[in-house]
Amino acid sequence: MARRPALSPSRANDFRQCPLLFRLRTIDRLPEPKSSAATLGTLVHLVLERLFDLPAEDRTEDSAARALRPGWEEMLAKDPALAELHADDAALAAWLDEARARLRTYFTLENPMRLEPSGREEFVELQLEDGPLLRGIIDRVEVAPDGSIRLSDYKTGRTPPPNYGQKERFQMRFYALLVDRIRGRRPALLQLLFLKDGGRLDLRPTPDDLAQVEFEIRALWDEIVAAAKAGAFRPQRSKLCDWCSFKELCPEFGGTPPALSPERALDALGVTA
Ligand code: SF4
């Protein structure tokens, strides 16, 4: 059964970056080319999730590294088009080495033998009253004996410089809001682990932080619905345009996006006109 449309941190961040990007991804659902970096992230997440299937004493760097190739073959069986990412076996081997380096860095940040997550790739969903359906997948959830909750997220990129990382912070506060509302307990710690350079970012959300993120989400949703009612999602040019898959369709670069009616936009968002 198809899932109801919902707002995730990634889609919310898309709209904050560029309303047209959000529209082309979420409403038009245009296909995008596979990205080597994103696929590497998927593989590393898969291996780290499965690591906790092993008995604690077997959660070693070697066992994680050994799981890379089977994980990749599993991904390839589900989506054979991924094979196009690597020109030949040497390119694939170099890419798997990169994934191995991310896992090596992971083991400098944590000792998974000492952790017993209560959730991995945990699906969370919350209907905000008079607002959007919110949805997310949390990489790892742990509950301490005193009931305190820690949420963790793995990033295969670098630690953002000071005063950056707003997208990542927003994502974690978004998850914290969902967990707080669903479990009735505010997470004590939100941890971001950056596996390219071994950085980490710890956030301790306060009640005010959660109230603020709810306010931001509601304001953003109002903007999204207003854009859908007008059938007009404006492009917002930035240096991130260099990584956008939709440049050819973007008016900022001489393109023309497909026509969009308000009815179709509202329907795709699950909003009744
Ligand atoms: S190229 Fe830039 S402005 Fe155009 S849709 Fe993509 S992100 Fe938005």
DSSP per residue, the chain: -PPPP-B-HHHHHHHHH-HHHHIIIIIS-------HHHHHHHHHHHHHHHHTTS-GGG--HHHHHHTHHHHHHHHHHH-GGGGGG-SSHHHHHHHHHHHHHHHHHHHHH--GGG---SEEEEEEEEE-TTS-EEEEEEEEEEE-TT--EEEEEEESSPPPPTT--HHHHHHHHHHHHHHHHHHSS--SEEEEEETTTTEEEEE---HHHHHHHHHHHHHHHHHHHHHHHHT-------GGGGG-TTGGG-GGGT--PPP--HHHHHHHHT---
272: pLDDT confidence band, cut at 50, 70 and 90?
confident
If one residue of 11, 14, 18, 240 were mutated to test the ligand 1 pocket, choosing by the most ligand atoms within 8 A of its CB, it would be 18
Per the listing, tokens 């989400």 go with: 217
Give the residues surrounding ligand 1 with Cβ less than 6 Å away.
18, 20-21, 235-237, 240-241, 244, 246-247, 250, 252-253
Give residue 179 CA to ligand 1 midpoint distance, Å: 32
Summarised one tens digit per residue, pLDDT across range 203-222 is: 999 999 999 999 999 999 99
- What is the CATH code for 119-213? 3.90.320.10
If one residue of 14, 16, 17, 20 were mutated to test the ligand 1 pocket, choosing by the most ligand atoms within 8 A of its CB, it would be 20
Give residue 23 CA to ligand 1 midpoint distance, Å: 11
Residue 2 has pLDDT above 80, yes or no: no
173: pLDDT confidence band, cut at 50, 70 and 90?
very high
Which of 138, 133, 147 lies closest to 171, judged by CA?
138
pTM for the model: 0.94
Which of 192, 260, 259, 195 lies closest to 229, judged by CA?
260
Q: What pLDDT is stored for residue 1 in this prediction?
A: 60
- The tokens describing 103, both together, are 């896992």
Check if the beta carbon of residue 41 is closer than 8 Å to that of residue 102. Answer: no
Summarised one tens digit per residue, pLDDT across range 59-102 is: 999 999 999 999 999 999 999 999 999 999 999 999 999 999 99
Question: 159 — phi, psi (to 5°)?
Answer: -65, 130
If one residue of 15, 17, 253, 256 were mutated to test the ligand 1 pocket, choosing by the most ligand atoms within 8 A of its CB, it would be 253
Give residue 24 CA to ligand 1 midpoint distance, Å: 10
CB burial of 56-65 (b: ≥16 within 10 Å; e: otherwise) equals eeebeeeebb
Residues of the chain with pLDDT > 70, as a percent, come to 99
Give residue 61 CA to ligand 1 midpoint distance, Å: 40
Could you state, in order of their start, the residue ranges of all structural domains in the chain?
9-29+225-269, 36-114, 119-213
Q: What is the average pLDDT score of the chain?
A: 96
Q: What pLDDT is stored for residue 87 in this prediction?
A: 92
